[in-house]
Amino acid sequence: MSDTTDRLTRLIELATTNAPENRRTLAIELCDLLLDWPAHHPVNMREPFEALLEKTVRGIDDETRRMLAEKFGRNEETPVYLLNEFYFDSPADARDTIVLRNALMDASSCQPFDKCATDEAALLAAARGQRQDELLSALARTFGIDLTTAYSIIEDRSGRSLAIACKGAHISRATFSAVALLSETGSGLDEIRERLSVFDGVPMVGAERLLDYWRTRQAA
């Protein structure tokens, strides 16, 4: 028991010390704790540590985030919202699994989907303008997300993230296809076809829930 107490004390010290170099250490140790949760601790004690990890990882380097994404992705018991936090740090096959996990969640444990007003014409106009800053701003406004998330969506060359955002916001396939084409340069014909085909394979409920999570990050 003393070992566990010492471990929790160390986590508290790391969390309350305002030193950037401690953030990475805290994230890794929180990850290890959650993946190897002490059997004598009640399950409901996990929640504050999960919330602390979710907050902590937003200020760490990309390499560490990818490492943690891999660790959590291998664990079938990782909460969906933690997987959502690491969506953009995960490889393509793991991202598809995350969307599916969202789609398969018990509806009683989810907030009702809140469809925000979308201006498809403004989004298309920004995409046609060929200026990334304007497109990022349009994505942020259209989907109710922050600019960092908008940038991650555009950087996903597969088109999956854009398809999730569009399908989650109930934006038409035609608009998705136009934005996907206009925002991509330098790809061959086969790559473009594959990029446009991903929309149909995204489950609607999974897209809605993941987009809601991205909106929650903006609100936070």
pLDDT (tens digit per residue) in 23-32: 888 899 889 8
The pLDDT mean for the chain works out to: 86
Per-residue model confidence (pLDDT) at position 101: 94
- Cα separation, 52 vs 58, whole angstroms: 10
- Cα separation, 216 vs 220, whole angstroms: 6
State both tokens at 50: 């999960």
Most confident of 83-87, 130-134, 183-187: 83-87
49 close to 34: Cβ distance less than 8 angstroms = yes
Determine the average pLDDT of the residues in 57-70: 91
Per-residue model confidence (pLDDT) at position 108: 62
* pTM, to two decimals: 0.85
Q: Taking the C-alpha atoms of 174, 179, 185 and 191 in order, what is their torsion angle to the nearest 10 degrees?
A: -40
Domain ranges of the chain: 2-77, 120-219
- Residue 95, φ and ψ in degrees, nearest 5: -65, -40
Per-residue model confidence (pLDDT) at position 44: 82
Most confident of 35-39, 130-134, 161-165, 186-190: 161-165
Instruction: Tell me which DSSP letter residue 41 carries.
Output: S
Number of helical (H) and strand (E) elements in the chain, helices listed first: 13, 0
Is the pLDDT higher at 3 or at 22? Answer: 22
pLDDT at 41 > cutoff 70: yes
Determine the average pLDDT of the residues in 76-84: 90
DSSP string, 117-162: P--HHHHHHHHHTT-HHHHHHHHHHHHT--HHHHHHHHH-TTSHHH
Determine the average pLDDT of the residues in 187-206: 88
- High-pLDDT (> 90) share of the chain, %: 45
State both tokens at 15: 């969390």
